[in-house]
Chain A
Amino acid sequence: MAVEQDYGAGKLKLPISGVFRIVMPYVKSLFLEQLRGIWFIVLYLILFQVVLLKLPIVYSVMIGVGVCVILVGLMMFMEGLRLGLMPFSEAIGTHLPRRAPLPLMLLFAFLLGGLATFAEPAIEVLKRAGSSLKPDDAPLLYSILNDFANQLVACVGTGVGLAVMLGLLRFLYGWSLKILITPTVLGLLAMTCWMHSVDALKPVLGLAWDCGAVTTGPVTVPLVLALGIGVSRMVARDDAGGQGFGIVTLASLFPIVAVMCLGLFHYLADDYIGRPNYKPSAVIAAASESVAEEAAEEDLEAQAEDEYRLDAFTKGDLDYATSEGKIRGRYTLEYDGGDWVLEDGVIKRRGASLVYRKKAASFVATEGKKSWDSSLTVGSQIWDAFLTSARAIPPLIGFLLLTLLLLRQRLPHADEISVGIGFAIVGMMLFTLGLAFGLTPLGGQLGSNIPAAFTRISPWNLGGFQGPLYDAVTGKIVAIVFGFFLGYGATLAEPALNALGATVEKITTGAFRKSLLMQAVAIGVGSGIALGVTMIAYNLPLAWLLVPPYLILIVLTWMSNEQFVNFGWDSAGVTTGPITVPLVLAMGLGIGGNITGVVGGFGILSLASVGPIISVLIVGMVVRKTSGVQEDDLQADRGLGHAA
């Protein structure tokens, strides 16, 4: 039968229903994709709180709304990356080597790296964390975060800039990533060990390693990856081992070095707080004021907590008893004093007082449970989210546009790219907003409630007590297992990792699946966090847990092939993003606060970065065994046996 295709032409005018039929499946597929990423972590956190910790969810309505906003935000942000940011950056990557001389390329790379650092919201978070530090605990750390805060940001920016520069040079000259990683990591480890032994420098370690983790966020990573892919596509090559990757790795390692050097410099110059060369600055006064304010707030909180004490009734309970005629909570009843008399064959104690003693048992006061946090005003949160987004994306886009003009190139699909950039900005704003309303309070309450597994705590924003639900060892194991799945679930929802996975799939023409990479990374992060929880629960020093894995890693790196080394190390840089970091910090603080001798929950993040590298490299080795590469070689060895 003679049939033909439609040979029509010209722009289509679609009726509204037609537009609808095109847009609906598109939106649906995007939505489902994000839902697949995020459902696990949300459901897991809720179930854990309700079923295992036997506590209700506080601010349930707000969290529900927040999660929906996150879904929409992620959906738009990811689509914005796919349509706008990544093609834009890749286009620049392909034009650069053709048009720009080497020094200009390197300058571009350096500026891009630095600019990306200023854009990352996490740097702000770190700086803010500095104001709550007490100068006496860690003077050098305090000074770096307050007196030298600008130097810190400049240092991190320089580190990232150098890393992007070196990453580009690597593509041009075809250097192996192994050769760059090994000395850097060994140097870092040596410095870590040495700084661990100097009291003043020791607290800076945590900051340094954390800086490495936070610099590579959801905007920087896709941008830098796409740039790398563009450049390495243009540079003639012989082998194809992880082309376009590696910048993220360097951008995670170099800031650590930079911050360590900054710490060392001020240590040697002896100009931090409490030292002879110290010059107080205006920042300090403001900072110490805020410290005082916070201390006052803490006192208030402590008073509020007094209302529900473990073993004694409070005024509130008395008021309740006098008005209701009964005792709230569990109690034991005793009789005190009185005269023993015999009356009509009955022994009585006349004049005795009844003593109600509070019984030490779990009791959760749910009366005051709120479904919305009234301290979070929607308007100011939206403004904050907008600022975060506006600070992160437009400056970078402006820089890229400027570069494009300088190279005198036109942008292909400029309309699509502008729509994509719009999506990315709105998406990031919604995503940030959703985090503030949804995941942060949910993660926060779980983080502080999880110690209920092994000790008695007062639940987050609730009255009463809970726990210990299990004995000390089982309870800690529960907390460790909780940490594993928290890391696993949060990683699967991370936007930067999603972008990395998609890029890996694209580069290997689909041979290396995104799901395989994400699962491997998620398991690695989960293991790292479980190790981190163990560290906090048993108060082990970070250096013990950080140095051996990195040494193992060096060995694994040399045993693996280049491609997996690139994927693995890069995925370590992207795992600690906007979803994982608040959840992990909340959990670390919650558990750390209930273990004597532990201050804060720092260090878990750096362990969460080692885990995925190890897991991806191991997966790479398993893959080599299972994917028939060896068989191929074997067959070749058998020679001409089958030559027709």
Chain B
Amino acid sequence: MICKQTGVLAMQLEARHDYSLLTTLLPRRRFSQVVTCVLEAGVRHVMATDARGTLVKDRWYQSLLPVVSPEQEIVQMLVEERMVDRIINELASAGRLYLTGAGAVYAARCLQAWIPDSMAQAPPDGYSTVVREPLPLKRDLVVICCIAKQGISEGIARAAVNTGAPGPTITFCRGDAVRARLGLLRIAISPDKEFLQVVVDRVDSEAIFESMIAVGKLGSPGMGFIYMMPIDRGINNIRGIYGAARHGATIQQIIEAVDDLKGDTDWRAREIFEASQSAEEGVRKRRYLTGNVRLACVTEGGTADSLVATALKAGAPGVSYMYGREIGRADDPASRTGFKLTREREVLEFVLAPRILEEVRAALIAEADRRGLSELAFYTHDVPNAFTYLSTGSGKTRLPFIKRGASI
């Protein structure tokens, strides 16, 4: 690679290894409170995305009543590892995340991160990492992420809840892969997908992963892509069931108490695996994608299209990208009349084999340079296990566009 010593490229040479991705899932009402607190705790900027929670109705008549899924917000920030504990603690206190059903926060250490200085989050001078009265954090967590075609995510979410997961958080995203290679014919395939994420204990993760695959029929072409990612530590109090609060404890609190007594959530598994034997056979036959990495690329809003096309040309098998807005930067853009404007962001996510990671990244940087984008951040995470439809046999006889599940 020939390096120009200016522009994005110059900043992208050195990978940092001490960064963590901190993600919070919150009900919308707590959003501004938590963001204010995080910004006070030394974080310079965070990225927020609108989301909805999952709602499982526990009474028969609720299926007749109109219900609206709980609105949530996903707040993400890329910070230096030594800041993580204090931020988690302050954030959890502000958002009362220790309460049952209040939300979740987790930190996942990046394998590598390439961050331009304007977006870097080093602790300010004299930053104290000491946490007074630390909240107990859970270790051995796993986040399961699933990109599903629109309309089937509700069923997948319910399957996860029934197998013992908290209610998944769902956002809209766009997916592109072979679609982008179809020319104008691409309008026939909707790029709109839904992105589910749910944090679960490692011991439960396999069962939940399998049930989500089974219910979403993710082994069929064009349905979706699912992967899991280990998490270092976090608090996980997302609720799965909304019920009446007429008793001394809500059903969610009771479930959690039983979970504590039992030590896991296996006792909650039902339905999915009782359903059919063929489902279990399917599990045995499944071929997983192992040893991949997730490459995420944060870019300016409205620039994703050309970057996506570039990445796909460089050999990325598929990409999902979602919209977010960055909050807290002092140099926020303003309109020509002085209104404060949103700083829009787009995040591209690829799950790919480590061997082509550099190739894709280099292509993205080159494209960003060409377009004169100054802010482009990358980070990678381990993805030990992923699953989607893979064509069997030679693959040459089949049309490639049905090979890729969610990415199509």
Contacts and interface: CB of A to CB of B under 8 A. Distances in A.
Interface of A: 1-12, 14, 18-19, 21-23, 25-26, 83, 94, 97-102, 105, 172, 233-240, 412-413, 415-416, 419-420, 506, 508-513, 516, 519-520, 619, 622-623, 626-632, 634-636, 640, 642-644
Interface in B341-394: 341-342, 344, 352-353, 356, 388, 390-391
Contacts of A640: 98-99
Given A628-B55, A635-B99, A642-B99, A97 B341 contact: yes
Contacts of B70: 511, 627-629
B187 to A, nearest CB: 6
B245 A643 contact: no
Given A97-B341, A643-B98, A6 B403 contact: yes
B395 interface: yes
A172 B399 contact: no
B104 to A, nearest CB: 14
Nearest to B291: A2
24 contacts: A5-B289, A6-B317, A12-B182, A19-B185, A23-B188, A26-B187, A234-B335, A234-B342, A235-B335, A236-B339, A236-B342, A415-B184, A509-B52, A510-B172, A516-B68, A623-B66, A623-B67, A626-B65, A628-B55, A635-B245, A636-B102, A642-B253, A643-B99, A644-B136
A575 to B, nearest CB: 18
A580 B244 CA distance: 40
B17 interface: no
Interface in B234-269: 242-245, 250, 253, 256
A4 B242 contact: no
Contacts of A172: 339
B96 A636 contact: yes
A626 B100 contact: no
A240 B184 contact: no
Contact of A635 (B68, B250, B395, B403): B250
B32 interface: yes
Given A7-B356, A9-B313, A235 B339 contact: yes
Contacts of B126: none
Given A412-B305, A509-B71, A642-B253, A7 B315 contact: yes
B341 A10 contact: no
How large, as a class, is the contact surface on chain B? 35 or more
Contact of B318 (A5, A97, A234): A5
A26 B352 contact: no
Nearest to A17: B399
A-B CB proximity, top 8 nearest: A628-B242, A26-B188, A5-B317, A511-B52, A102-B337, A511-B69, A236-B340, A631-B245
Contact of A21 (B32, B339, B399): B399
B182 A14 contact: yes
A407 to B, nearest CB: 11
B336 interface: yes
B273 interface: no
Nearest to A29: B190
B68 A233 contact: no
Nearest to B96: A636
A105 B68 CA distance: 35
A3 B67 contact: no
B97 to A, nearest CB: 10
A236 B399 contact: no
B8 to A, nearest CB: 21
B400 interface: yes
A519 B67 CA distance: 13
Nearest to B62: A626
Contact of B245 (A4, A102, A634, A644): A634
B99 A101 contact: no
A411 to B, nearest CB: 11
B332 A236 contact: yes
Given A235-B340, A419-B184, A9 B312 contact: yes
Interface of B: 27-29, 32, 50-52, 55, 62, 65-71, 96, 98-102, 135-136, 170-172, 178, 181-189, 194, 242-245, 250, 253, 256, 287-291, 302, 305, 312-318, 332-333, 335-337, 339-342, 344, 352-353, 356, 388, 390-391, 395, 399-401, 403-404
Nearest to A237: B342
A9 B185 contact: no
Contacts of B318: 5
A234 B336 contact: no
Contacts of A628: 55, 70, 242-243
B91 to A, nearest CB: 15
A11 B99 contact: no
Contacts of B100: 635, 642
A556 to B, nearest CB: 16
Contacts of B340: 235-236
Contacts of A415: 184
B307 to A, nearest CB: 12
Nearest to B403: A6
Contacts of A102: 336-337
A424 to B, nearest CB: 13
A232 to B, nearest CB: 9
A399 B136 CA distance: 59
B68 A511 contact: yes
Nearest to B170: A510
Contacts of B250: 631, 635
Contacts of A3: 287-289, 390
B362 to A, nearest CB: 14
Contacts of B316: 7
Contacts of B356: 7
B50 A240 contact: yes
A82 B315 CA distance: 30
B302 A94 contact: yes
Nearest to B50: A509
Contact of A6 (B65, B135, B189, B404): B404
B170 A8 contact: no
Given A22-B188, A508-B68, A509-B172, A101 B52 contact: no
Given A1-B287, A5-B404, A642-B253, A635 B101 contact: yes
A6 B395 contact: yes
A18 B402 CA distance: 10
Contacts of A511: 52, 68-71
Contact of B185 (A23, A512, A519): A23
A243 to B, nearest CB: 10
Contact of B189 (A10, A26, A506): A26
Given A11-B181, A235-B341, A643-B99, A97 B245 contact: no
Contacts of B52: 508-511
Contact of A412 (B62, B183, B302, B344): B302
B21 to A, nearest CB: 21
A509 B243 CA distance: 22
A551 B292 CA distance: 62
Which of A1, A509, A634 has the most chain B CB atoms closer than 10 A to its own CB?
A: A509
Nearest to B52: A511
Given A22-B182, A235-B340, A4 B353 contact: yes
Given A2-B290, A9-B312, A631 B242 contact: yes
Contact of A12 (B101, B344, B401): B401
Given A5-B352, A9-B313, A636 B99 contact: yes
Contacts of B391: 6
Contacts of B395: 6
